[in-house]
Structure 1
Amino acid sequence: MTPAEATQAVRQAIEEKRLVPSAFENIEAWLTEDRYSDYRDQVIALIADERWQELDDAFWTIIPFGTGGRRGQMYPVGSNMINDRTIGESAQGLADYVIEYNQGKESLSCAIAYDTRHRSRHFAELCAGIMAAAGIKVYFLDDYRATPQLSFAVRHKGCDCGIMVTASHNPPSDNAVKVYWSSGAQVLPPHDKNIIDRVMNCQQIRSMPFAEAQEKGLVEFITAEIDEAFLAAAGPQGFAGPKDVKVLYTPLHGVGAEAVMPMLKQDGFNDVKVYGPHEEKSGDFPNVPGHVSNPENKHIFKQPISEAQAQGYDLILATDPDCDRLGVAAPVTADTSGPWTTFTGNQIAALLTDYVLRKRAEAGTLSPEHYVIKTLVTTNLVRSISEEHSVRCVGDLLVGFKFIAKAMDANGPDLFVFGCEESHGYLVGQYCRDKDGAVACMLLTELAAELKSKGVSLAQHLESLYHKHGYHKEHLLNLFMKGSEGMAAMTRLMSAFRESPPSELAGLKVAQVRDYLNNVSTDTASGQTSPLAGPTGNLIILDLAETGNYVAVRPSGTEPKIKLYMFTKLDQAASQDLDQAEQVLSARLEGLESDMEAFAAANQ
């Protein structure tokens, strides 16, 4: 089959509705343009075999840069897939922009790291070769290492950019590149759009073999240097206190043990064990339920909890494959053989906010000028705890830890105390500009040890925060919408929330609609609109008639889904009987989920 014959076959498949029309332009480009010549035969073979669904998935769009970089399913060809071409374009576009932005600078450098996923090392070497060919020195972490270590390496070595090869908590089929700027944070405007422009217009990928780049001194291994320096910088972010706690830690087949275990040992915790079935570094995540290593998923804790109950552990910690997020399980009471519970990202955020602020206050290193950062979809319990300690809460942020990093630098890093987001991301200190699962493990272990010395469990301590600040309960609903049809459904649903939102949810009136894309707030009773202060992004918040109860809606920046965040709250007086409060808010969340699902089904 010739390229012309293949193109005609694609036209016919579109007429027969086996392919969406948007796939044609991308497939035609890969069949005819010189920049895709290395992949032409593979595309023709797929067309000849009439593998239309695979072709539709691979070509219906061009894989975008989202909140976490360029992420998606791996497949040898396709504009919407992670492969040598799309990764190569990403690295080449970054290299071109870094050179252009830093005109006149004598030397440029880039830090590169990778995790345990399939082809991560290959993609890391590919990116290194492209940087080297552009004359950019590469500082390479020559083994599986954590995302926060990459962020730290960018700052430590004074790099102009950084690349982390990881798809975080996505399924084994996926991989990605996270792109970092010289601050150590993931790229922000205007750099992100400028890089994307160069990626989309990339004609030729210029690369140097990895071994040649090493021989020429354009690739330098810095693994041991960063391990030592990272531990020296992140470790002191902890606090003094009891160390008698027995910890079971799972890296979920990822990179976390190399960061978490030394940090806990340095902090004085000697009774820490890696959970055996999850210790193997594997991109298949073989012993994790569903093979998805996501610490948000409470099912990953089922087997570790059984071992912990049998062997008297006080705490279970879990980090995702690139060790930038933390999950936690602990006994409900001081009895480690009794029932256990898992904690949501919002609950961990509240526990750590309270712990860090309290320890800083006790040390006399906290003032009203200090501040905590959270996103718009992170529990307002964090704000209430901050107010209790008379510190600021910077909370008007879009989703993505890069916005927390930006707020750190905008508000002065010397006054930064703690940053958190509901998706299990936490940071304390100035040593990097991304969430850090290792330092979060250290802080949570310190808190657990302190509470154990008082005969109090983490769950009981969280209840005390509810008594003081009112009962907060949150829930996240993911609506998956894959492929070209899914993208159209996502667009329709977001439009429906903007143009004709529900008038009532879970028996509560929708009082206000905040549209952050258009920066407009609408009073639903009067229909009057007013300017909405805050960031601009594809986020809608429906405020309910009862204060502190609301729903946030946004398309994911890393996966084909819409995320519905549900926030419920009772005031302090109604939160003294927590069993009753739990029943009230659980019923409310069930109502919110049911009503939101019905609205989504009717408007996709």
Structure 2
Amino acid sequence: MDGHVSDGYRRQAEEWLDQDPDPETREELRALLGDEAALAERFGAKLEFGTAGLRGELGAGPNRMNRVTVMRAAAGLAAVLTSEDAAERFERPGNGASVVIGYDARHKSDVFAEDSAAVLAGAGVTVHLMPRPLPTPVLAYAVRFLGADAGVMVTASHNPPRDNGYKVYWGDGAQIIPPLDAEISRSIDAVGRIDELPRGVEWNALDDGIVEAYLHALSRLPLGTARDVSAAYTPLHGVGGEVLARAFAWNGFVPPDVVAEQSRPDPDFPTVAFPNPEEPGAMDLALDLGKGHDLVIANDPDADRCAVAVGGRMLTGDEVGGLLAEHVLRHTSGADRLVVTTIVSSSLLGKIAAAHGVRYAESLTGFKWIMKAGTVHDRLVYGYEEALGYCVGGDDGVPVRDKDGIGAALAVAALAAEAKAEGRTLLDLLDDQARRYGLHATAQLSVRVADLSLITDAMDRLRATPPDRLGGRTVTDVDDLSAGLGGLPPTNGLRFRLSEGGRVVVRPSGTEPKLKCYLEVVEPVTGSVAEARTTADAALAALRDDLAGVLGL
């Protein structure tokens, strides 16, 4: 314990204690009152509300996720929804604002959801509260289904067990983007003591009808008629298991065999180091169960992402993205169809769109941007990002305006069943695409840091002295994405275009202390696909090695 604590941090901590309704965080904070470093870490900064909402470690203080932080966020959102010009801005018919709130099974998610309901109701907002912990895509669907002005999802998705978060959706069913996030953030900053906020005690407790409405919407996806497919599945201790099983049965598929050790929600995620299907080891139990099955499928804990393996091989997000794109386009029609991916995803989708005569757009990273791509004349039928996020639609568009791991799993099962009926697998379909469009091979290099200034320094170095060559290929162009290139909003990222087909994109993660690098090479298939894959793998390894040296992290 440090013998000296500054009056400022001590005073802030005591003010926090005086209004904190949570006995756990009060006890935690009292034990830290003599620890200068701990108080500085909690009170010298705060969780910033941005386009990902809030996300951080649980604990006391403004730089943690806790009941005070959440109630302040709810009060800030309420202030925007009930402002004097709100009815005109939101084209509301005059019956007041409404919000639907969902939550996952992480520590305190249910408490944060009820606190949000109480604060929003106390501000005069009509609140619809989900009946139990449910997947994020159910909440995203519910916003439009219920005609709400906004939605709140309490989740930290695939973050470590000690994290939680607070995602905000707008009335279009998509996550908020600037400048709305900044407006809500300013409103949060203006909130006073949370123990002085009026709190409502009545709200609309939703029942299973909202899940059934979501399942009915998924039945309109392009699922074809083939149903003979066997799958193994894990929800990774999250909330996807029950809804996915119902979705499969609802649409005539045999529900998957489920990894028993990971079948029930558990906020401690005891069988995995990180509850993210992209992390090494997270899929081991599912892959073991999946031996002899046609497919292995995983959702992350809030079930907005979907991972796929076939024949013991994990498919990349880009590989699944390309397969689902052609599946959707084969089962839909119209030149006004739009498919969208992000600047860090494979360039393959653009070639698929051209071959099918449909519109194509690129967006910044994140589904909040995918949903804003294109024009009012476009009909979005499919969007994906390489981080295992897919938004699958049919001829009437997409039912969920966010990534949906349940809908994606259904579509993958339908595609695998179609292939199986022809004596083929998804791996065969990948080879078909490689022959048709060239082999588009992608990989990532992610560097986790303890000090965020290291990421800032690395980005500054890359801007000041970009490399001339990477992986033996000449860097032909360097695009600084902070300039808002190609009509995209500015973002902190760099794109290096390479000779012989390929590119590297470097950007800080928006949700984790990571620097993320996205690599792509394109190899023509002149012999066998296997030979092209070997060449591409070697090229990606060379790129990764060179880039790691350039980053210096």
TM-score w.r.t. length of structure 2: 0.92
CA 1:29 to 1:465, structure 2 compared with 1: closer, same or farther past 3 Å? Answer: farther
* Whole-angstrom CA distance in 2 between matches of 1:298 and 1:372: 30
How far is 1:428 from its partner? 2.2
Corresponding residue for residue 491 of structure 1: 456
After superposing the two structures, state which structure 1 stretch, 77-86 or 385-394, moved more: 77-86
How far does residue 60 in structure 1 lie from its aligned partner after superposition?
4.4
Find the counterpart in structure 2 of residue 455 from structure 1: 423
- Match for residue 552 of structure 1? 505
With 434-443 and 579-588 compared, the bigger mean Cα shift is at 579-588
Question: What is the SS of the residue equivalent to 1:387?
Answer: helix
**1:384 maps onto 2:351 in alignment:** yes
1:196 paired to 2:185: yes
Q: CA deviation at 1:447?
A: 0.6
Verify the 8 A CA contact 1:169 1:293 in the aligned structure 2: yes
Corresponding position: 1:343 with 2:323: no
Kept after mapping to 1: 8 A contact 2:391/2:402? yes
Whether contact under 8 Å (1:516, 1:536) holds in the other structure is yes
Shift of 1:467: 1.2
Matches within 5 A, 1:63-462: 63-75=47-59, 77-100=60-83, 101-103=85-87, 105-205=94-194, 206-207=196-197, 213-214=201-202, 219-287=203-271, 289-290=272-273, 292-297=274-279, 299-309=281-291, 312-331=292-311, 340-360=312-332, 366-395=333-362, 397-407=363-373, 410-412=375-377, 415-429=379-393, 430-462=398-430
Q: 1:28 to 1:546 in 2, by over 3 A?
A: farther
Residue 300 of structure 1: CA displacement? 2.5
Q: Shift of the alpha carbon at 1:572?
A: 4.3
Q: Is the 8 A contact 2:336 2:377 kept in 1?
A: no
- CA change 1:590–1:139 in 2 (3 A) is same
CA distance in 1, matches of 2:182, 2:401: 20
Matches within 5 A, 1:503-542: 503-519=468-484, 533-542=487-496
Task: Report the alpha carbon displacement of residue 202 of structure 1 after superposing the two structures with TM.
Answer: 2.2
Cα pair 1:247 1:272 within 8 Å, conserved: yes
Task: Pick one of 19, 26, 32 that aligns with 1:46.
Answer: 32
Q: Say if 1:30 and 1:157 are closer, same or farther in 2 by CA, change over 3 A.
A: same
Deviations 1:237-265 (CA, angstroms, capped at 9, x unpaired):
13322111112221111111232112111
Q: How far apart in 1 are the matches of 2:340 and 2:87?
A: 34
Contact 1:131 1:207 in 2 (8 A): no
- Offset of residue 42 of structure 1: 5.5
Distance 2:348 2:108 in 1: 41
The residue type paired with residue 205 of structure 2 is F
State the AA in 2 paired with 1:154: V
Cα distance in 2 for residues equivalent to 1:411 and 1:352 = 24
Contact 1:374–1:394, Cα closer than 8 Å, also in 2: yes
SS in 2 for 1:536: coil
Cα deviation for residue 592 of structure 1 reads: 1.6
CA contact (8 A) 1:145 1:258 kept: no
Looking at structure 2, the residues matched to 571 and 580 of structure 1 have their Cα atoms a distance apart, in angstroms, of 10
Please state how far the C-alpha of 1:270 moved relative to its aligned partner.
2.2
Please report how far the alpha carbon of residue 65 of structure 1 lies from its aligned counterpart in structure 2 after TM superposition.
Answer: 3.0
Offset at residue 412 of structure 1 (A)? 4.3
Note the alpha carbon deviations across 1:429-487, whole angstroms, 9 max, x for none.
332211111110110000111111111111121111111111111111111123xxx22
1:567–1:28 distance in 2 versus 1, CA, 3 Å: farther
Which amino acid in the other structure matches residue 537 of structure 2? Answer: S
Contact 1:154 1:162 (8 Å CA) reproduced:
yes
- What secondary structure does 2:459 align onto? helix
Residue 274 of structure 1: CA displacement?
2.5
Distance in 1 separating the partners of 2:224 and 2:26: 61
Q: For the residues of structure 2 that align with 1:90 and 1:247, how far apart are their CA atoms?
A: 41
CA distance in 2, matches of 1:122, 1:34: 18
In the alignment, structure 1 segments of 5+ residues that lack a partner are 12-23, 332-339, 361-365, 521-531
Q: How far 1:131 moved relative to its partner? A: 0.5
1:223: how far off? 2.9
Residue aligning to 1:527: none
Contact 1:67 1:557 in 2 (8 A): no
Q: Deviations over 1:281-317 (max 9, x none)?
A: 1111122x31x221223532222222222xx321111
Residue type of the alignment partner of 1:456: R
30 and 398 in structure 1: CA distance in 2 versus 1, 3 angstrom threshold:
same
AA matched with 2:341:
K
**Partner SS, residue 300 of structure 1:** coil
Normalising to structure 1: TM-score of the pair? Answer: 0.84
1:169-193 deviations in whole A, cap 9, x for unaligned? Answer: 1111110000111111111122111
Amino acid at match of 2:320: I
Q: CA deviation at 1:208?
A: 5.7
Query: What is the letter of the counterpart of residue 551 of structure 2?
Result: A
Cα 1:393–1:29 shift into 2, 3 Å = farther
Report if aligned partners of 2:506, 2:516 keep a CA contact under 8 Å in 1: yes
Show structure 2 runs of 5+ residues with no match: 89-93
Distance 2:382 2:522 in 1: 23
8 Å Cα contact 2:481/2:491 also seen in 1: yes
| RMSD across aligned positions (CA) | 2.3
String of CA shifts for 1:117-166, please: whole Å, max 9, x gaps: 11110111111111111111110102011111111111111111111000
Kindly provide the CA deviation profile for residues 178-231 of structure 1, in whole angstroms up to 9, marking residues without a partner as x. Answer: 01111111111221110011122322335566xx613xxxx1111312112111
SS at match of 2:335: coil
Q: Percent identity?
A: 34
Partner of 1:14: none
Deviation at 1:540, TM superposition (A): 1.2
Cα distance change of structure 1 residues 31 and 262 upon mapping to structure 2, 3 Å threshold:
closer
Please say if residues 66 and 557 of structure 1, whose CA atoms lie closer than 8 Å, have aligned partners that are also in contact.
Answer: no
Q: CA deviation at 1:271?
A: 5.0
